Amino acid sequence: MTDFTNQTAIVTGGAQGIGRAVADRLAKGGARIAIWDRDKALGDTAAEEIGGGAFACEVDVSDWASVEAAMTATLDTAGRADILVNSAGIAGSNGPLVDYPVEEFRQITEINLLGTFHVNRAVVPAMTAQGYGRIVNIASVAGKEGNPMASAYSASKAGVIGLTKSLGKELADKDIAVNCVTPAAARTRIFDQMKQEHIDYMLSKIPRGRFLELHEAAAMIAWLCSRENSFTTASVFDLSGGRATY
């Protein structure tokens, strides 16, 4: 088990799904967890179940003022921020680009890409002041390959990959690592937003022939968040079961 004793980990979207699995795993290693999620009730429940001083902040990552307030509250409560995992995200609906609602494209971009920018922007100054930090942004294999009927989602996740590579290079002279992971489909509540034929398409593209399990995602992310990851930064780690090998 990777040791996160005396560290504070912010997990956006940590109320459920991949974020919750990561929060559980980091907490088992001794980290104090700050769940940043727009679902207040689920965030509070998650914090209570995780224990170890975990707490929840209600935040909309697409809103800069909300993110700034969550960072202030986190530093007031925990005094530091060693780890950041950006899992907050939405899939949006599936449909051809030419018919895709402009407002929905904007909303997906604002949560998945602008939200990732907001959270990194808010948290990095504390890590810089501490001289230590580990950041993992959750992108998607869709951001590498593109998924048909999901142009907004794929574009937003491609943006997260670019943001991660850029920020990682900016911070490379410090002990702050910034990486991202590109999962294939994992069975979470995000599936509720998708058409069944899209879920079938994603599964058909995974050479392993099955969905990604949440504990498998959490294991890779936890290592990227650890002190053991002292060299690699600005990189993309594949979690796609063989779909994308680059």
Q: Which of 100, 132, 153, 246 is catalytic?
A: 153
Min separation Cβ 68 and ligand NAD, Å: 14
Under rule CB under 6 A, residue 11 binds ligand NAD: no
If 0-12 CB within 10 Å is exposed, 13-18 middle and 19+ buried, where does residue 207 land?
Answer: exposed
CA atoms within 13 A on the CB side of 123: 34
Helix, strand, coil tally for the chain in percent (to 5):
50, 15, 35
C-beta closer to ligand NAD: residue 16 or 179: 16
Min separation Cβ 61 and ligand NAD, Å: 4
Q: Which are the contacts of 34, defined by CB distance < 8 A and separation ≥ 6? A: 8, 9, 10, 11, 54, 55, 56, 57, 74, 77, 78, 81
> Pick from 31, 33, 60, 123: which binds ligand NAD (CB under 6 A)?
60
Under rule CB under 6 A, residue 154 binds ligand NAD: no
For residue 153, indicate whether it is catalytic.
Answer: yes
Which residue from 166, 175, 71, 73 is spatially nearest to 128, judged by alpha carbons? 175
Site for ligand NAD in 206-245 (CB under 6 A): none
Closest-by-Cβ residue to ligand NAD is: 17
Under rule CB under 6 A, residue 179 binds ligand NAD: no
Task: Tell me the window of 48-56, 81-89, 97-105, 120-128 that interacts with ligand NAD (CB under 6 A).
Answer: 81-89
Q: What is the spatial distance between Cα 91 and Cα 149, in angstroms, rounded to a whole number? A: 11
Contact pattern from residue 124 through residue 143 relative to ligand NAD, giving x for each residue in contact according to CB under 6 A and a dash for the rest: --------------x-x---
Q: What is the spatial distance between Cα 240 and Cα 219, in angstroms, rounded to a whole number? A: 14
Contact pattern from residue 16 through residue 55 relative to ligand NAD, giving x for each residue in contact according to CB under 6 A and a dash for the rest: xxxx-----------------xxx----------------
Min separation Cβ 60 and ligand NAD, Å: 5
What Cα–Cα distance (Å) separates residue 9 from each residue in 12, 29, 46, 101, 202?
10, 11, 14, 36, 31
Residues near ligand NAD (CB under 6 A): 12-13, 15-19, 37-39, 59-62, 87-90, 111, 115, 138, 140, 183, 185-186, 188-190
